[in-house]
Chains A and B, each alone.
Chain A
Amino acid sequence: MRTDTADLERPASAPAFQQLGLGRKIKNHTATVLFGLAFLVAVIPLLWVLFTLVQRGLAPMLNADWWNHSFYGLLPNDSGGGIYHALVGTLEQTLVCALIAVPLGVTVGIFLIEYGRNSKLARTTTFMVDILSGLPSIVAGLFIYALWITTFGFDRSGFAVSLSLVLLMLPVVVRVTETMLTIVPDELREASYALGVPKWKTIVKVVLPTSFSGIITGIILGLARVMGETAPLLILVGYSRAINYNLFDGPMASLPLTVYTARKTSTEAGEYRMWGAALTLVLLIMLINLLATLLSKLFAVKTR
């Protein structure tokens, strides 16, 4: 065996920028195009839904009556009327839901991060929160029906709806609190302990305020999510075309329920109301999302 001296002079590795084979080039480009297309495929339905909503739902909203009247006394063929009754219902139901779900969810989050550690109970709780977040909304409704209406004997009401929404909002609040509390630097806690501050006071005065903006944003996003829930409403409350301020008594309208109910009256006026209510609902949700972003900016912890 003899080695060609010329070979030894050659650089040890091939040049860094080699020409790619055509096949590999084509595959690479196809993949890039396909992945980009996948994103476009997701954008199309979003824009399409929004376009449809604006196109068909804008007309009713431009009428002044839309915002301060109800559908009371209107026949299926009558046009006009407004969504005020449903706005009242949606806001009341979701606010009461938040009043229950937020304190509960935040304390669960505190338990998981500050007290539970890796205890068995904490792991079980995390698992159950996961299961709760995958709970079909109709099952949440059925459960409240079985508990509140069949077992306790209450009537169907807006409050029953709030209770079922609590089940759907709870996992969102827990998850957000958990994430935000993990981000709080341990140095803050240690500094507080070093000053002799008890643990509970450290949590209330140091840990929670630090993560406040994140938690509030998450809560508001959770609120926006349950606002559009329709399934539990179908079994837990009757639809009313009149204004009902009372959560505990009588049928009560809300935006999703109005959309669903109006779908059944296939008159022109019914369609008009249906799309109007649908656009109002989406606008409300978007507004609340926007509020969340704004608040998180406003309350953001100053890092310097």
Chain B
Amino acid sequence: MSSEPPTPPEQPGGKKKVVRLGDRLFQAVATGSGIFVVTIIAAIGLFLLVRAIPALHANEANFLLSGQWRTGDPENMAFGIVDLAWITVASSLVALIIAMPVAGGIALFLTQYAPKVLARPFAYVVDLLAAVPSVIYGLWGALVLAPVLKPVALWINGTLGWIPIFADGNVPANSGSNVFTAGIVLAVMILPIITGVAREVFERTPSAQIEGALALGATKWEVVRTTVWPFGRSGFVGGAMLGLGRALGETVALTVILSYTFEGPHYSIFDAGATFASRIALGSAEFNNHLTVGAYIAAGLVLFISTFAVNALARWIESGSGKGKK
């Protein structure tokens, strides 16, 4: 931040500065809340860790390498995260692959193409996508979108089935309760986040660069390609990472859309199963003893750490964009 608010001037004349009680109190409260926020994040990590450790000790399977999830009986628990990780990563990547080009396109459209008067209402429309609760996206995805996607899924499966990722999964391609449908719904959900960030960085393109390109006879597209895009690219990638963070942690929409199978994944986008988040949501019914809950908390801890990492990376990329580049 370049401009800092001014401080009250020192008391004139007097050698000792008058410190008012109100000022002291107020500053203490404000600083205290700042410290509190920092503590919350630390507490989240700490509490999840403390609750997860006993369950991890009682775990009979390898937590990182097993795909089982048997947690009902605290005496005999075996749980691992491999399957959860695959479904989580696969659905988020499908979402990202779909959402990134669309979000980039929208951001460029809103900042460079849309008439100035309409840019704001148009951006508001995209932001409205974020106002719809995720449980409703879940319903829409499972009951409305999935039947519509059926022929698309069958076509992809039939025509491109020789590529392993599109081969038969552990649920039929036409069932709709698979990673394919989930990824498309997730793409809609993360679209406003990526668009928002990208719009902000594209808007900050120095107008001298744009005018320079125009003066050299560039077409609108060439202006975008040679000035706006190189300037905003890293910010756009940062926005995409934020979207990825959101997709990794999305819970209810995926709980509603994905069906749960006991069959292991076939590493296809026509797999079903559970993500970290939806596994926890599905397991809420069996939250009845500390060890069982601990198993879910262990999964939550992995989710927390991965979203923390992704978000931190996103902020880092984002903060570097548009600076130090000429």
Q: In the bound complex, how far is the Cα of B315 from the Cα of A124, in angstroms?
A: 13
Interface residues of A in 132-151 (CB under 8 A from B): 132, 134-139, 142-143, 145-147, 150-151
Instruction: Determine if A131 is an interface residue (Cβ-Cβ < 8 Å).
Output: yes
A-B contact pairs, 10 of them (CB 8 A): A35-B105, A35-B109, A38-B104, A38-B105, A41-B106, A49-B140, A107-B33, A115-B27, A139-B44, A260-B252
Q: Known interface pairs A35-B109, A136-B251. Does A114 touch B135 (Cβ–Cβ under 8 Å)?
A: no
Instruction: Determine if A52 is an interface residue (Cβ-Cβ < 8 Å).
Output: yes
The answer to whether B37 touches A125 (Cβ under 8 A) is yes
Residues of A within 8 A of B51 (CB): 146, 150
Q: In the bound complex, how far is the Cα of B140 from the Cα of A254, in angstroms?
A: 20
The answer to whether A230 touches B135 (Cβ under 8 A) is yes
The answer to whether B307 touches A49 (Cβ under 8 A) is no
Q: In the bound complex, how far is the Cα of B287 from the Cα of A190, in angstroms?
A: 56
Residues of B within 8 A of A190 (CB): 6
Of all chain A residues, the one with the shortest Cβ separation from B215 is A16
Over the window 84-116 of chain B, the binary record of Cβ atoms lying under 8 Å from chain A Cβ atoms (1 yes, 0 no) is 000000000000000001111110111011100
Q: Known interface pairs A28-B222, A38-B102, A52-B144. Does A112 touch B34 (Cβ–Cβ under 8 Å)?
A: yes
Residues of A within 8 A of B160 (CB): none
Q: In the bound complex, how far is the Cα of B188 from the Cα of A134, in angstroms?
A: 17
Q: Which of B60-68, B123-131, B170-178, B259-267 lies at the binding interface?
A: B123-131
The answer to whether A24 touches B222 (Cβ under 8 A) is yes
| Interface core residue of B41, B43, B110, B217 (most chain A CB under 10 Å) | B41
- Nearest first, the 7 A-B pairs at minimum CB distance are A136-B249, A228-B133, A38-B105, A200-B26, A111-B30, A134-B311, A231-B251
Q: Which of B73-81, B151-159, B204-212, B295-303 lies at the binding interface?
A: B295-303
The answer to whether B221 touches A230 (Cβ under 8 A) is no
Of all chain B residues, the one with the shortest Cβ separation from A196 is B8
Of all chain A residues, the one with the shortest Cβ separation from B136 is A278
State the A residues within 8 Å of B (CB).
18, 20, 24-25, 27-28, 30-32, 34-39, 41-43, 45-46, 48-49, 52-53, 104, 107-108, 110-118, 121-122, 124-125, 127-132, 134-139, 142-143, 145-147, 150-151, 167, 170, 174, 181-182, 184, 186, 189-190, 193, 198-203, 224-225, 227-231, 234-235, 256, 259-260, 263, 274-275, 278, 281-282, 285-286, 289
Residues of B within 8 A of A122 (CB): 34
The answer to whether B133 touches A229 (Cβ under 8 A) is yes
Residues of A within 8 A of B40 (CB): 128, 132, 167
Residues of B within 8 A of A43 (CB): 125
| Interface core residue of B26, B34, B222 (most chain A CB under 10 Å) | B34
| Interface core residue of A31, A32, A104, A227 (most chain B CB under 10 Å) | A31
Instruction: Determine if B82 is an interface residue (Cβ-Cβ < 8 Å).
Output: no
Q: In the bound complex, how far is the Cα of B34 from the Cα of A208, in angstroms?
A: 18
Q: In the bound complex, how far is the Cα of B281 from the Cα of A121, in angstroms?
A: 35
Instruction: Determine if B22 is an interface residue (Cβ-Cβ < 8 Å).
Output: yes
The prevalent SS among residues of B at the interface is helix
Q: In the bound complex, how far is the Cα of B256 from the Cα of A114, in angstroms?
A: 45
Residues of B within 8 A of A150 (CB): 51, 290, 293
15 other contacts beyond A134-B310, A198-B20, with CB at 8 A cut-off?
A28-B219, A35-B108, A42-B106, A49-B140, A113-B5, A117-B4, A130-B315, A138-B280, A139-B44, A199-B8, A200-B20, A259-B136, A260-B135, A285-B133, A289-B131
Q: How many positions in chain B have a CB within 8 Å of any CB in the partner chain?
A: 98
The answer to whether A256 touches B133 (Cβ under 8 A) is yes
B249: contacting residue among A48, A137, A275, CB under 8 A: A137
The answer to whether B106 touches A39 (Cβ under 8 A) is yes
Of all chain A residues, the one with the shortest Cβ separation from B122 is A39
Q: Known interface pairs A135-B249, A198-B22. Does A41 touch B102 (Cβ–Cβ under 8 Å)?
A: yes
| Interface core residue of A112, A122, A228 (most chain B CB under 10 Å) | A228
Instruction: Determine if B38 is an interface residue (Cβ-Cβ < 8 Å).
Output: yes
The answer to whether A136 touches B303 (Cβ under 8 A) is yes
Q: Known interface pairs A127-B315, A136-B303. Does A111 touch B34 (Cβ–Cβ under 8 Å)?
A: yes
Instruction: Determine if B233 is an interface residue (Cβ-Cβ < 8 Å).
Output: no
The answer to whether A38 touches B26 (Cβ under 8 A) is no
Distance in angstroms from B135 CB to nearest chain A CB is: 4
Residues of A within 8 A of B35 (CB): 121, 125
Instruction: Determine if B165 is an interface residue (Cβ-Cβ < 8 Å).
Output: no
Instruction: Determine if B163 is an interface residue (Cβ-Cβ < 8 Å).
Output: no
Q: In the bound complex, how far is the Cα of B30 from the Cα of A181, in angstroms?
A: 14
